[in-house]
Amino acid sequence: MGVMLRYLTSKLKYLKLVNQYYATNQKNQAPSQDEKTPTSLTQNLTTNLEILNGFIGNNFDLVIRKFTFGEHRQTNAALVYLNGMTDQTMINESILKPLLFESVPNSNPASNHSVIEMITMTMLSVAEIKKRTLIQDIVEGYLSGETILLVDGSPEALVIMTSDWKSRSITDPKTESVVRGPREGFIENLLTNTTLIRRKIKSSDLVFESMKIGERTKTTVCIAYIKDIANPLLIEEIKRRLKDIKTDSILESGIVEQYIEDAPFSIFSTIANTEKPDLAAAKILEGRAAILVDGTPFVLTVPMVFIESFQSSEDYYSRPYFASIIRMFRYLAYMLSILAPATYVALTTYHQELIPTALLFSMSAAQEGVPFPVLVEALGMGVIFEILREAGVRLPRPVGQAVSIVGALVIGESAVSAGLIGAPMVIVVALTAIASFVVPAQTDSGGILRAIFTVLAGFSGGFGIMVGLIGVSIHLASLRSFGTPYLSPLAPLSVPDLKDTFIRAPLWAMITRPRTIGWHDPKRQEFRLKPGPPSEEDASSN
């Protein structure tokens, strides 16, 4: 006991010293941050260009176009932009041409308008123009593909929206294929993605709020929500977590997810993602918020509940009976993917009496001569399957398909023929592999759970599997996603929301939004929307 207390005391002292070190470090670095405060422009064009060169450096794609304009060519100016990220036609037709071939109206002191203001109001035919004086703002606009106009004698610069970098066209989402429903997916352009959502939700209450994250990448991150449906506390919490991200780079939405999730040590994700605009719009209409990151087609949605993994946008476009059956098949496939190898190991090792006699004889004959225990077989085949799956994903598509198919056939057949594994194990692993692809959102967690349950079954049989299931259930019940219980509407139980869990009730019966998410505005539609044949009075009147 004394040793334990001394150990804890030493740990507390160590943590105290670490905190003091970081506090001292931050105080010592504070003056250096002030020294980096952005400087402002001067009234001299040459000096301003030198300042910009100091921030930008000598880049091969940097373009500095110097020219003179005015009635007597008395004013010097320069355009600064990045070649390849700007629309050259817009620069030539909407900026250079008016300045070179039209005279600037007189800007005498009595008019209270400077040359910059007169150019903005009367000459440039560009939709978005901003006046900036801080070098940091100007450099940020330049790196975003905007064009900078500097005029000699003015301490202000015009940041003109001319960005036009190449992006791929809108295509089918690769990870969420559907038979019925929209075939368009998000792309890497943020403005295109926001437009796709606005096409679905034509409401003035739809809000997009953006911020820059990443000290070096300056990535634009946008929060989308409907202000009279979403919980204001949810939006404030999202903003707080995003503002707390202090890192060099944000390159994909998965990086943002890892900084703002509730349970970073859990194998279950508490933030959903999608490539489909209709699915993102549906979740926003339920009271959730979407987080869009520039440069990625994957949009995050919060809060997330566990049953979302088993729902598909196609469920709501099909009739409820078939959609309900397919959804139950997804639950069955998920249970098979995590429990099939463990169940096989438990039955063959500890519970042979539960296997029918004829089947037991067949399995024993197949296992005869196999040198490894069933647990080693299951784990080994699981590792081989994961290697083949990873090879099929990472290699080029034609080669990857050949490797995965031929590799599985050749390795499986050769291993059975050589007596290294039994044929029943190959069948179990193949069934597990197919079932694991039915619920893509839980593929990562399913692989980890499959290995855990297999090991538990190998050491304790069915008892180990039950202990594992109880532990996973307790863990799921303890999770939260931005304050929302992860197992909602099962725990806590919400009977009205059960219409969209294991089954999908008719759309006219789902009157309210999910209670734990859309409680701020619970009513989704009118009460009496059940369709039916016309009444006798209507038929007689017609």
Same domain, yes or no: 68 and 202: no
Report how far apart, in Å, the C-alpha atoms of 278 and of each of 82, 182, 313, 317, 512 are.
35, 7, 8, 11, 19
In a domain, 491, yes or no: no
Higher pLDDT, 20 or 194: 194
pLDDT, position 261 = 94
pLDDT > 90? residue 70? no
- Taking Cα atoms as reference points, which of 475, 370, 364 lies closest to residue 419? 370
Residue with tokens 């019940």: 477
| pLDDT per position as a tens digit, 219-244 | 999 999 999 899 999 999 999 999 99
> Number of structural domains, the chain?
3
Same domain, yes or no: 261 and 379: no
Higher pLDDT, 137 or 14: 137
Domain that holds residue 82: 45-160
Q: What average pLDDT does range 412-430 have in this prediction? A: 79
pLDDT, position 57 = 73
In a domain, 176, yes or no: no
Cα–Cα distance, 41 to 237 (Å, whole number): 37
Same domain, yes or no: 289 and 326: no
Residue 20: pLDDT band (50, 70, 90) is low
Cα–Cα distance, 400 to 387 (Å, whole number): 12
| pLDDT per position as a tens digit, 457-503 | 999 999 999 999 999 999 999 999 999 999 999 988 888 889 989 99
Higher pLDDT, 349 or 537: 349
pLDDT > 50? residue 42? yes
Query: 513: which residues sit within 8 A by CB, 6+ positions away?
Result: 229, 286, 287, 519, 521, 522, 523, 524
pLDDT, position 41 = 87
| pLDDT per position as a tens digit, 102-128 | 776 655 544 445 788 888 888 888 888
Task: Specify the DSSP element, H or E, that contains 386.
Answer: helix 374-394
In a domain, 15, yes or no: no
What's the one-letter identity of residue 364? S
pLDDT, position 390 = 80
In a domain, 492, yes or no: no
Same domain, yes or no: 260 and 149: no
pLDDT, position 406 = 64
Same domain, yes or no: 254 and 336: no
pLDDT > 70? residue 30? no
Same domain, yes or no: 138 and 228: no
Pair type for strands 484-485 and 289-293: unpaired
pLDDT > 80? residue 326? yes
CA atoms within 13 A on the CB side of 418: 10
Same domain, yes or no: 333 and 282: no
Q: What is the mean pLDDT of the chain?
A: 84
Are 458 and 374 a contacting pair, CB within 8 Å? yes
Same domain, yes or no: 212 and 356: no
What's the one-letter identity of residue 296? T
In a domain, 429, yes or no: yes
Same domain, yes or no: 203 and 136: no
Same domain, yes or no: 265 and 351: no
Structure-token pair, residue 242:
């995003």
| pLDDT per position as a tens digit, 372-416 | 888 888 898 888 888 878 877 777 766 666 666 666 666 777 777
What's the one-letter identity of residue 255? I
In a domain, 516, yes or no: no
Same domain, yes or no: 292 and 340: no
- Taking Cα atoms as reference points, which of 164, 6, 15 lies closest to residue 83? 164
Same domain, yes or no: 333 and 458: yes
pLDDT, position 540 = 62
Q: What average pLDDT does range 34-49 have in this prediction? A: 73
Structure-token pair, residue 155:
């301490």
3-state helix, strand, coil in the chain (%, to 5): 50, 15, 35
pLDDT, position 389 = 80
Q: What percent of the chain has pLDDT over 70?
A: 87
- Give the domain-ending residue among 304, 334, 365: 304
Helices (H), 36-62: 45-56
- Give the domain-ending residue among 115, 143, 160: 160
In a domain, 284, yes or no: yes
In a domain, 246, yes or no: yes
Pair type for strands 289-293 and 219-226: antiparallel
Cα–Cα distance, 224 to 203 (Å, whole number): 12
- Give the domain-ending residue among 160, 177, 208: 160
Q: What average pLDDT does range 511-540 have in this prediction? A: 80
Higher pLDDT, 335 or 136: 335
Q: pTM above the 0.95 mark? A: no
Cα–Cα distance, 296 to 275 (Å, whole number): 9
